[in-house]
Amino acid sequence: MRLQLFVLASILSMLLLAGVSSATYTITNINTTVYINANASAHVTEMITFVMNNDSISNYNLDRSGVNLTLSNWEYIVGPDVVPHIINQKMGIYNFNLLPGPVVTTYYGGVATIYMNYYVKNVTSINQTGPRTYLYKFNSSVLNFQHGSGGVVLGPHTRLNIVIPSGSSILSIYPLPDVPSNLVLNSTNTTEVSWYDGEPLYNFKLIYSSKESLISEVSNFFMDIYNALGVFAYLIIIFAVIIFILYTYYKVH
């Protein structure tokens, strides 16, 4: 009886592997957007679109309905390109989420997109250059590009977008982005820059400045006090307000 069960399990495993191996996926587009935050971290979103033949649709839908499939699982199912390819995974990635999208059927098979979003630490360095004014420099070691004959290069069918905080001004950038093609430095009009596939990104550089609002400065000041003193900070503030009210009342009367 045990031998029969073992043989049956082996046959089922072979059939499953045969179904996986018969599936054919071809990646057609990779779109990565890096939203840089004021605290030097970044929110990264990636969309990896691929086509499949008719025989692969049922396999993909079956895998998509699987529970707790990891990035490694999808790398095995679809191919080695389904990884956070733009961002170096050693740079402190956290809150990683992966969502395989539905299949849109076509005459040759289907099209689907895998969506990934996660956060990365230390994407930029920060230096204060004046009152509420900060200089940000992109940390190029965060990037994980393919290597061409002359150095790192953006892979085929790939687009990299970097979004800096609103109100910031780009001071220096290399290479010049594909979009916008008429980038004006030292202007707050541009907050997003993009490079397309095949773009050589040797000595990548992005430096921009940003000015913190007065409200943000005051809010961060009190937040720093709270982080240092905890709830006791609120007691100090309440006590100071009470003293001010009593002093004002005394002066008036």
115 neighbors 99 (Cβ within 8 angstroms): yes
The per-residue pLDDT for 18 is: 43
The per-residue pLDDT for 177 is: 94
The per-residue pLDDT for 211 is: 82
The per-residue pLDDT for 20 is: 44
d(CA 221, CA 237): 13
Tell me the pLDDT of the chain (253 aa) as tens digits. 544 444 444 444 444 444 444 568 888 999 999 999 988 899 999 999 999 998 889 888 988 887 677 777 887 877 776 665 667 766 778 898 888 999 999 888 899 999 999 999 889 999 988 787 899 999 888 887 666 666 678 888 889 999 999 889 999 999 999 999 899 998 888 899 999 988 888 788 999 998 875 454 445 555 555 556 566 666 766 777 788 787 777 777 6
Q: Which of 101, 111, 128 is nearest to 26 (CA)?
A: 111
d(CA 73, CA 95): 18
The per-residue pLDDT for 113 is: 94
The per-residue pLDDT for 231 is: 60
The per-residue pLDDT for 36 is: 95
Burial 44-61 (b: 16+ CB within 10 A, else e): bebbbebbbeeebbebbe
Beta bridge partners of 136: 126, 208
Residue 48 amino acid letter: I
What pTM was computed for the model?
A: 0.73
Work out the number of other CB atoms within 10 angstroms of the CB of residue 195. Answer: 20
d(CA 20, CA 1): 29
The per-residue pLDDT for 124 is: 92
Q: How far is CA 94 from the centre of its chain?
A: 10
The two three-digit tokens of residue 175, written as one number: 């290479």
The per-residue pLDDT for 112 is: 94
The two three-digit tokens of residue 169, written as one number: 């001004």
Q: Per CATH, which fold does 23-211 belong to?
A: Immunoglobulin-like (2.60.40)
